[in-house]
Each structure stands twice: as structure tokens, then as C-alpha cells.
Structure 1
Amino acid sequence: MKPPGFTYHRPQTVEEALDVLAEVGPEGKVIAGGQSLVPMMNMRLAAPQHLVDINHLPDLGFVQVEGQDDGRSGVRVGATARHADVERDHDAGRAVPLLQQALACVAHPTIRNRGTTVGSLVHADPAGELTAVLALLGGSVELRSTRGTRTVPATEFFVGLLESCVEPDELATSALFPVPVPRTGSSWVEVARRNGDYALCGVGALVTIDDDRRVRAARTAYVSVGPTPVVLDVTDELDAAPLHTADWATVGRWAAEQLTPGDDIHATAHYRKHLAAVLTERALREAAGRAERGESAESAEQIDGATRARRVS
């Protein structure tokens, strides 16, 4: 199938792109990777009259670890950075291991070579891994327009099925994935019918332990169980248990009961809840093991110091 006709715009600067978006308003769509938009246009599920191509904008293809004003550090991803750029970035993986753990499950390498991380967030597919990763980490998205710049936290960014809070005249220029607190392990697990398919259920987990190897905090996030990513705090259910006695299975069953997935042609709600219970147990156990082994995130300062040391040597 072919898409309906549209006017193609190829701005050369961010300012030019914002001017075009302000002019065309709701009749325009931004295209970067196009891995979601183009199929929707071909199937006539989307019919924008104007297509604004941001692939030629300078300085938006970055992946960098940076410190924040609140003392935390994070991985900032630019609007034209591909999934593969983030997946292969050594410093990003050391700072936020969950990013690469989840990206390994995103479609196929060919898709990851073209699809963009920020574009995936704007698309707001409830089966998309990156939506849950941003929500679990407490990340944010930077939006720019001719009216100014605003930063929207993940809790406010996803507003419904395939719907984010981006206004028609706004461009999502970057997303920030904060580094978890020290001694935090992470994991991403999912089940799909075939490798590369959308997950029937996917679970991300963060587990923080203390010096006595007790669970200090634990959170999980889910895809394909609702119209937006679901995040649960399971800390109280673990009750500061030592890692060797933590009842991950019981927590998994409790978490599944908090979810309200629907039936569709791919799986029943009952099966999705079963998957959520099993995958929650698995994700928490893996995240806790990584925290215990010291496979936790490194701060921007640690990464910057190691990078300087490599350059000196």
C-alpha cells in the first residue's frame, strides 16, 4: 500500500523545524526513524498532510551521560539518535544498564538501526519497551516549540493509547534516563510469540540493596498490560527481606493482581496476568542478583574519570 499524498518539509535547523510545526499545526507529523509512522501511513491509519523530516538537523543525534542540577546523573538521548546508537554506547550502558537490557528486545537489528529512541517515546505504544524504561527510571522528555521549552516527566508524558502529551507545534528534542541510585541492579524480561514481535508481556525491574544485602527498594514496570506503561512499587511487599530469603514468587503474584490487562487476538487477560507474575519474579531475582554482584550503574563522574584515564593511557 502507498500513503496518501503529503507535503514534505526538510528543515536544516531546529528553529526552522519549529517554525514549520507552528505553521502546519495538527496537520503535520515529525518523522525521524519512521519505523512506526511509515507503516501507519501505508495502512492509512495516519494521514498527515505535512511531513517534517528532522534527520538533517545538526546536533540531535547524540547519546551522552551528564550530571543534573539535583546531583543525579543520567543518559540524555537526542531526537535523531537511533536505538542502535544507544544500545552500542559503552558509557550509556555503564550508566543505565536497563537501557541496553531493554533495547536488546526491541524488534530486530534492522529496525533498531533506523528507529529512534525519542520517536518511540513520542509514539507511546504501550507495548514499546522504552516507554516502560523511561517510566521506571523516572525520566523525562524535553519539548521545544516557538513558544519555548518545557521538560515533561514520564508520569505526565504518556496520556493514553498511542498518545503522548506532545502538542502539534512541539518537537521532542531529547529524553533523559536517570541513573539509578547506588547498589541498584536492573533487569528486563519479556515473552513474545516470535523473536522481534511485540511482547505479550514485558517487565523491567530495579532492586536496591543495603550493606547487609537486604532489599531497600524495588520497583517494576510493565508493557502490553494497559494503555500506558504501568509502574509498581513492590518495596513493602518484600519487607526489607535478605536476598537469600526474599519471596520473589509471592511478590510476582501480588504484582499481577494489581494489573488489569485486556483480551485481544494475541493473548487473554488471564494469560497476560500469568506472564506478569512469572516475569516479575524472574526480573526481580535477576535485578537483585546483579545488585549483589555489584553490577550496578556508574555515575557520570565515575564514567568521566574512567574515560579520561583511558584517554591518558
Structure 2
Amino acid sequence: MIPAPFDYVRPTALDEACRLLDDADSGDGDVKVLAGGQSLLPLLRLRLAYPALVVDIGRLEELRGVHDRGDHVFAGALTTHDEVLRSAVVREHAPLLALATATVADPAVRHRGTLGGSLAHADPAGDLPAVALALDCVLVTASARGAREIPAAAFFTGYLETALEPGEILAGVRVPKLGDGWGFHYEKFHRTAQAWAVVGVAAAVRTEGGSIAQARIGLTNMGPVPVRAHAAEAALRGATPAPAGSGGGGSAGGLPGGGRDPVRDACGLADEGASPVADLHAKPDYRRHLARVLTYRAVRSALG
């Protein structure tokens, strides 16, 4: 299909883009920001979006790249998924981001799609919002009014909705370095290699003295926004993983010899507080089952 008519501008500096957005928001009509275009262009072609103006920020080189900032990694919003995957800084200090990014669509999309575009689009079936939530990332915005910092927990406000205000651009993401003792894994169930996740789990687990000292779990596609599995996180603290090769406890959570697997029991709480929806791919009860199973797999893999 052919998009509805719209005006198009392509600024070459961030302050110019912010000024254009500020001027446009004071007028009539919707304004859309174009980054990699992997989400917006299909909406335009299907006429599911009718912007009066599209501001293409693709030339803003100041929003590209991954940087080591001491206690955190800063990734510019226009950094492509492929650039994230190839970044030695990400692999060393934010491996969960790399693990999830590797599952995004296919190589063609990863070469065009951007980290910031994925987060700002806020699709609950997207892989990266759950990672941002699990890692307590901070999203940094820019506008004519100045910069703003938004914790990931407050950024996603509804289905395809964020805390971005009119005239704001997502400039980058601060990813905290979690340090030693942490393990990471992203587990995803999808119909085909390039499909959106039916359910996904981003897990970060820190062990101490043979037991789990801390766990962070973000769920993909378990509601209108990414979900933090707080009940499972709390139950995992202090749990001692079952020995490798024990079979993981079976469907009833038991171990050979009649014991219980506390990690499996804790992961059975992963869907508490979630509100999964029914669609063509899964019913809510099936998504809840997947969340429990995939959380257990992700936590076990993070534990090594």
C-alpha cells in the first residue's frame, strides 16, 4: 500500500531535530520520529499511522555508538542491533543485551533496526524492553527543553506507549554494569526464527556461596508492557540450585530421592502479576505456562 501524504524533514544535528519537533508539536497534526524504520514504515504503508510530519533522525551521528562510562555502558539510540552485537563493550559489560539482541528478527532487520527505535516503539512482544526492565536501565531523552532521565520501570506506560513527552527524542540508554558473580540468559519461544516472541524471559542471576543472592527477571509479551517477575525474584533469593544432571526436578518440582527443587518452585511464580492477552498465537493460560517454564530454563542457563 501507499502511505498517506506527509511532510518529511531530515535534520543533521540533535538540537535541530529537537527544534523541529518542538515547532511541530505546537502546530496541528501528528508527528513521528523515524530512526531505523523497521517499525514505523510498515505502519505508514498499512495506513495504521497518519502523521502530518516525519522527522528522520538517521543522520544524527551523535546518537550512535556504544561507550564505556565507568559504572555503566551508554548506547546511543541510533546504534543498530548489529552494532550492539559487534560491540566488545556490550559483550563484556552487558551480555544480556547482546544475548537478546541476537534473537531480534533476522540479519537484514538487525542491520537497519536500532536499539532506541525498539525501545521507543514499546511493543510488548519486542525482546529489548524486557531486557531494559530486568537490568534497571535508564533511558535518556533530549528535547528543546533539555535532557531527561527515565528509569525503564517508568518508561513503558501502555501498549505501544511510553513516557516520552511531545517533542522528546530518545537519545540513548544507560545500562548498569552488574559486576562479578552474575550470569545471564535470554530464553525465547517463537513460531519461526524471525517471528516475535510468544513469550520471552530475560534473566540475570547472582550467586554467592553456592546460593542465589539476587535475581532479576523481565518477561516479554506477558501483558501490554514488559513485566518484572518480582514474585519469582523474591523466591529465588537464598535458593540453592539443584545439582547439574539432576533432571531439573520434573514437572512436579521434585528431585530424585523425593526432594524439592527450590529454583523450579520459585520460577513457578514467574507469571504472578502478569496480564497476558489472547491472540492468534497463544491463549493467556498457555502464555502463563510458557513464562514459568522459560523462566526456569533462563535461570538455570544463567546459573551455568
Match of 1:48 in 2: 51
**Aligned partner (choices 83, 86, 100) of residue 85 of structure 1:** 83
Q: How many angstroms apart in 1 are the aligned matches of 2:13 and 2:46?
A: 31
> Residues 10 and 207 of structure 1: is their aligned pair in 2 closer, same or farther, counting only changes over 3 Å?
same
Count matched residues. Answer: 283
Deviation at residue 258 of structure 1 after TM alignment: 3.9
What is the root-mean-square deviation in Å for CA atoms of aligned residues? 1.4
Deviation at residue 24 of structure 1 after TM alignment: 0.8
Q: Which amino acid aligns with 2:222?
A: V
Matched, 1:20 2:20: yes
Deviation at residue 274 of structure 1 after TM alignment: 1.1
Matched, 1:282 2:279: no
Counterpart mapping for 1:267-278 below 5 A: 267-278=282-293
Match of 1:310 in 2: none
* 238-247 or 11-20: bigger deviation: 238-247
**Aligned partner (choices 246, 259, 263) of residue 248 of structure 1:** 263
Match of 2:36 in 1: 33
Match of 2:256 in 1: none
What are the superposed Cα offsets for residues 62-117 of structure 1, whole Å, 9 maximum, x if unpaired? 111212xxxxx222111211011001111211101101110111111100100000
Deviation at residue 269 of structure 1 after TM alignment: 0.8
Q: How many angstroms apart in 2 are the aligned matches of 1:178 and 1:129?
A: 18
Under a length normalisation based on structure 1, what TM-score does the superposition of the two structures give? Answer: 0.87
Q: How many angstroms apart in 1 are the aligned matches of 2:275 and 2:210?
A: 33
Contact 2:135-2:216 at 8 Å conserved across structures: no
Deviation at residue 256 of structure 1 after TM alignment: 2.7
**Which consecutive unaligned segments of at least 5 residues does structure 2 have?**
244-260
**Which consecutive unaligned segments of at least 5 residues does structure 1 have?**
68-72, 290-313
Match of 2:130 in 1: 132
> Residues 238 and 147 of structure 1: is their aligned pair in 2 closer, same or farther, counting only changes over 3 Å?
closer
The alignment-based identity, stated in percent, is: 39
Under a length normalisation based on structure 2, what TM-score does the superposition of the two structures give? Answer: 0.90
SS at match of 1:148: coil
Counterpart mapping for 1:161-180 below 5 A: 161-180=159-178
Q: Which amino acid aligns with 1:263?
A: A
What are the superposed Cα offsets for residues 25-68 of structure 1, whole Å, 9 maximum, x if unpaired? 1621111100000001111111111111111123221111212x
